[in-house]
Amino acid sequence: MEVCKTCLTMHVDNYDPETFCWILEKLDMPYVPSEWNVLRDRAYNADPSKMGPLSVIGKYISKMRLKKWCNLGWNDSERLQE
Protein backbone atom coordinates (compact mmCIF):
# COMPACT_ATOMS: atom_id res chain seq x y z
CA MET A 1 0.00 0.00 0.00
CA GLU A 2 1.09 3.55 -0.66
CA VAL A 3 0.07 4.79 2.81
CA CYS A 4 0.53 3.56 6.36
CA LYS A 5 -2.11 1.47 8.11
CA THR A 6 -3.23 4.36 10.33
CA CYS A 7 -3.72 6.73 7.41
CA LEU A 8 -5.42 4.01 5.37
CA THR A 9 -7.99 3.24 8.04
CA MET A 10 -8.49 6.61 9.72
CA HIS A 11 -11.91 7.16 8.10
CA VAL A 12 -13.21 3.60 8.39
CA ASP A 13 -16.69 3.33 9.88
CA ASN A 14 -17.33 -0.32 10.68
CA TYR A 15 -21.03 0.16 9.96
CA ASP A 16 -20.61 1.83 6.53
CA PRO A 17 -19.19 -0.41 3.77
CA GLU A 18 -18.42 2.60 1.58
CA THR A 19 -15.69 3.59 4.04
CA PHE A 20 -13.79 0.28 3.87
CA CYS A 21 -14.78 -1.56 0.67
CA TRP A 22 -12.28 0.46 -1.36
CA ILE A 23 -9.53 -0.94 0.88
CA LEU A 24 -10.72 -4.50 0.32
CA GLU A 25 -10.90 -3.86 -3.42
CA LYS A 26 -7.34 -2.52 -3.44
CA LEU A 27 -6.19 -5.61 -1.51
CA ASP A 28 -8.26 -7.84 -3.86
CA MET A 29 -10.23 -9.37 -1.01
CA PRO A 30 -13.91 -10.22 -1.25
CA TYR A 31 -16.46 -8.32 0.81
CA VAL A 32 -18.79 -10.76 2.54
CA PRO A 33 -21.18 -8.70 4.68
CA SER A 34 -22.19 -11.60 6.92
CA GLU A 35 -18.54 -12.31 7.81
CA TRP A 36 -17.78 -8.61 8.35
CA ASN A 37 -20.86 -8.20 10.56
CA VAL A 38 -19.93 -11.14 12.79
CA LEU A 39 -16.48 -9.67 13.44
CA ARG A 40 -17.92 -6.17 13.92
CA ASP A 41 -20.54 -7.35 16.41
CA ARG A 42 -17.96 -9.41 18.29
CA ALA A 43 -15.66 -6.39 18.62
CA TYR A 44 -18.54 -4.20 19.80
CA ASN A 45 -19.77 -6.76 22.33
CA ALA A 46 -16.26 -7.24 23.72
CA ASP A 47 -15.87 -3.53 24.54
CA PRO A 48 -17.87 -0.80 22.76
CA SER A 49 -15.56 1.93 24.03
CA LYS A 50 -12.54 0.35 22.32
CA MET A 51 -14.22 -0.17 18.94
CA GLY A 52 -12.45 1.98 16.39
CA PRO A 53 -11.44 1.97 12.73
CA LEU A 54 -8.90 -0.83 13.23
CA SER A 55 -11.18 -3.07 15.30
CA VAL A 56 -12.55 -5.12 12.42
CA ILE A 57 -10.54 -4.68 9.25
CA GLY A 58 -7.42 -6.46 10.48
CA LYS A 59 -9.38 -9.44 11.72
CA TYR A 60 -11.38 -9.49 8.50
CA ILE A 61 -8.24 -9.47 6.34
CA SER A 62 -6.80 -12.31 8.44
CA LYS A 63 -10.03 -14.28 8.03
CA MET A 64 -10.01 -13.78 4.26
CA ARG A 65 -6.52 -15.33 4.14
CA LEU A 66 -7.83 -18.61 5.57
CA LYS A 67 -8.08 -21.60 3.24
CA LYS A 68 -11.84 -21.20 2.77
CA TRP A 69 -11.47 -17.67 1.38
CA CYS A 70 -7.87 -17.34 0.14
CA ASN A 71 -8.59 -18.16 -3.51
CA LEU A 72 -11.31 -15.52 -3.75
CA GLY A 73 -10.86 -11.89 -4.72
CA TRP A 74 -12.79 -8.65 -4.93
CA ASN A 75 -14.57 -9.78 -8.11
CA ASP A 76 -16.16 -12.64 -6.16
CA SER A 77 -17.87 -10.28 -3.71
CA GLU A 78 -21.14 -9.96 -5.58
CA ARG A 79 -21.51 -13.73 -6.01
CA LEU A 80 -20.75 -14.35 -2.34
CA GLN A 81 -23.36 -11.82 -1.22
CA GLU A 82 -26.17 -13.74 -2.92
Residue 62 scores a pLDDT above 80: yes
pLDDT confidence band for 45 (50 / 70 / 90): very high
Residue 20 scores a pLDDT above 90: yes
pLDDT on residue 63: 96
Domain of residue 73: give its range: 5-81
pLDDT on residue 43: 95
How far, in Å, CA of 72 to CA of 80, rounded?
10
As for how many domains the chain has, the answer is 1
How far, in Å, CA of 31 to CA of 76, rounded?
8
The model's pTM is: 0.90
